[in-house]
């Protein structure tokens, strides 16, 4: 029986020319995703040299100008059963570029692990679908070829029948000491699309450029952590920029795009001799905690961070990469009480100041669910007011409390650049 699978692909946003000429990588300034995971800081000690990442996907455009290097291996095509995994969809080329596009070559984009060996394995056709048999063969092939990391940016939403063979292939890879990274899914469902692996597989959800949960991303059961995946909004700069199968560059959103950030960080750890489940645990332990304190259903362990995974200190003053700092103490100030009507109308207002430039992010939670969110950009040492607007779930909650004349207590989580996150209690009165 041939069982269908499809890729996890969200919307395209824009097309950019491939022939931009500049020193270094001319499009790196548009790669907010790399800044978020701090891969540039990590490259001071590791670029993934000696590590091999298998991209089990739709193949690769081997002629792309940003993918020209002997470290890009030939791989195999299990759809056409030949040794040329040519990408006729674009998804595989995009995902591959996030993990390992060339860096510092004066062309296009940079990547998380620009020194890693990349093994493209085509298991999905040009329409983005394929058979579970081919996926299983692709995973086993990756193990046989010595891949240290196996990236699965594909999903089972169109799977027909049991997944025993697929689960067994993942277990074989994990038992062989390989790191398996899978996209959580784009169905906004409370479960990882790849729940196999008995907790050893890294299931990756998505956040947008503001560090907020991507609306399309799966969450909840089986989620390991999150990484940049974009918002899905059709505006320049909202989604993840990478290589594409027309030789150019394109922004795409999806948990498919989040997963290769984690695979790239895994390759950096492999270069430093940290492999298998030791690398998995290091990635989870070093993720930047967001949302509720500690692991939570929306963000898992937090946002993957290459610098912290390698144990590197933050820039002077504790700010994030490339941010200047000062010695001012961080400030988080919000009222302990507020009126429900005021919050419905004006949101939750928090005064923020931090030692580094960046964003003050505020989220309000009730019973583990986010009911308000917002952020404000901070200048170094300057105070600004962040406003967390109430979302649909929050409006329903607060309007019901108002009708019933009862108070509501929210947990307000505030994250600042260069400072520990803080959680406060806010009581809302009718």
Q: Which listed CATH number (2.60.40.2550, 3.40.80.10, 3.30.590.10, 1.25.40.10) goes with 317-429?
A: 2.60.40.2550
Phi-psi region of 135 (alpha: psi -120 to 50; beta: other; left: phi over 0): alpha
Kindly state the average pLDDT of the residues 411-425: 81
Helices (H), 132-190: 132-144, 164-175
Report the SS3 class of residue 285. helix
pLDDT in tens, 343-389: 999 999 998 887 666 788 899 999 889 999 999 887 766 788 999 99
pLDDT in tens, 235-293: 989 999 999 999 999 999 999 999 999 999 999 999 999 999 999 999 999 999 987 77
pLDDT in tens, 84-113: 999 999 999 999 999 999 998 889 999 999
Residue burial 190-218, b: 16+ Cβ < 10 Å; e: rest: ebbbbbbbeebbbbbbbbbbebbbbebbb
The answer to whether the predicted template modeling score (pTM) of the entire model surpasses 0.85 is no
* Dist CA 196 CA 41 (whole Å): 33
Higher per-residue confidence, 319 vs 83: 83
**What is the dotted CATH code of the domain comprising 4-309?**
3.40.50.200
CA dihedral 53, 58, 61, 67 (to 10 degrees): -20
Identify the pLDDT of residue 251: 97
- Rounded to 5 degrees, φ, ψ at 251 are -90, 130
CA 374 to chain centre: 20
CB 349 within 8 Å of CB 273: no
Token pair in block for residue 149:
């990391």
Q: Which strands form 4-7's sheet, in the order they lie side by side? A: 129-131, 4-7, 154-155
Compute how many other C-beta atoms are within 10 angstroms of the C-beta atom of residue 239. Answer: 30
Compute how many other C-beta atoms are within 10 angstroms of the C-beta atom of residue 401. Answer: 17
Compute how many other C-beta atoms are within 10 angstroms of the C-beta atom of residue 350. Answer: 27
Structural domain spans, the chain = 4-309, 317-429
Catalytic sites, residue numbers: 57, 91, 256
**pLDDT exceeds cutoff 90 at 323:** no
**pLDDT exceeds cutoff 50 at 10:** no
Domains 4-309 and 317-429 are alike in CATH topology: no
């Amino acid at each position: 029986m041939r069982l269908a699978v499809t890729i996890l692909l969200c919307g395209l946003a824009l097309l950019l020319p491939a022939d931009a000429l500049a020193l270094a990588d001319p499009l790196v300034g548009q790669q907010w995703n790399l800044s978020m995971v701090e891969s540039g800081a990590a490259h001071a000690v590791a670029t993934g040299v000696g590590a091999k990442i298998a991209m089990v996907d739709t193949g690769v455009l081997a002629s792309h100008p940003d993918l020209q290097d002997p470290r890009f291996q030939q791989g195999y095509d299990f759809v056409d059963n030949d040794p040329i995994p040519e990408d006729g969809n674009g998804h595989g080329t995009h995902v591959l570029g996030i993990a390992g596009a060339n860096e510092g070559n004066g062309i296009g984009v940079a990547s998380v692990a620009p020194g890693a060996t990349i093994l493209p394995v085509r298991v999905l056709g040009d329409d983005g679908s394929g058979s579970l048999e081919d996926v299983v063969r692709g995973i086993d092939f990756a193990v046989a070829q010595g891949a240290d990391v196996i990236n699965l940016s594909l999903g089972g939403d169109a799977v027909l029948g049991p997944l025993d063979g697929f689960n067994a292939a993942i277990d074989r890879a994990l038992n062989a000491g390989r790191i398996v990274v899978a996209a959580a899914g784009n169905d906004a469902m409370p479960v990882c699309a790849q729940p196999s692996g008995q907790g050893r597989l890294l299931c990756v959800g998505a956040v947008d450029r503001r560090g907020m949960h991507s609306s399309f991303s799966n969450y909840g059961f089986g989620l390991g952590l999150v990484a940049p995946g974009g918002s899905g909004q059709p505006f320049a700069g909202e989604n993840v920029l990478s290589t594409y199968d027309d030789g150019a560059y394109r922004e795409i959103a999806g948990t498919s795009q989040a997963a290769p950030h984690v695979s790239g960080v895994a390759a950096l750890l492999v270069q430093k001799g940290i492999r298998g489940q030791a690398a998995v645990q290091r990635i989870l332990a070093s993720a930047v905690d967001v949302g509720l304190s500690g692991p939570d259903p929306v963000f898992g362990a937090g946002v993957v961070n290459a610098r912290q995974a390698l144990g590197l200190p933050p820039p002077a003053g504790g700010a994030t990469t490339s941010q200047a700092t000062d010695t001012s103490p961080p400030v988080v100030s919000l009222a302990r009480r507020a009126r429900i009507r005021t919050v419905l109308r004006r949101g939750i207002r928090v005064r923020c100041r931090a030692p580094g430039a960046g964003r003050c992010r505020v989220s309000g939670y009730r019973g583990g669910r986010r009911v308000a969110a917002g952020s404000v950009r901070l200048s170094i040492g300057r105070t600004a007011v962040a406003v967390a607007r109430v979302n649909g779930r929050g409006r329903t909650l607060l309007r019901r409390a108002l009708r019933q004349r009862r108070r509501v207590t929210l947990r307000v989580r505030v994250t600042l650049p260069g400072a520990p996150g803080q959680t406060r209690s806010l009581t809302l009165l009718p």
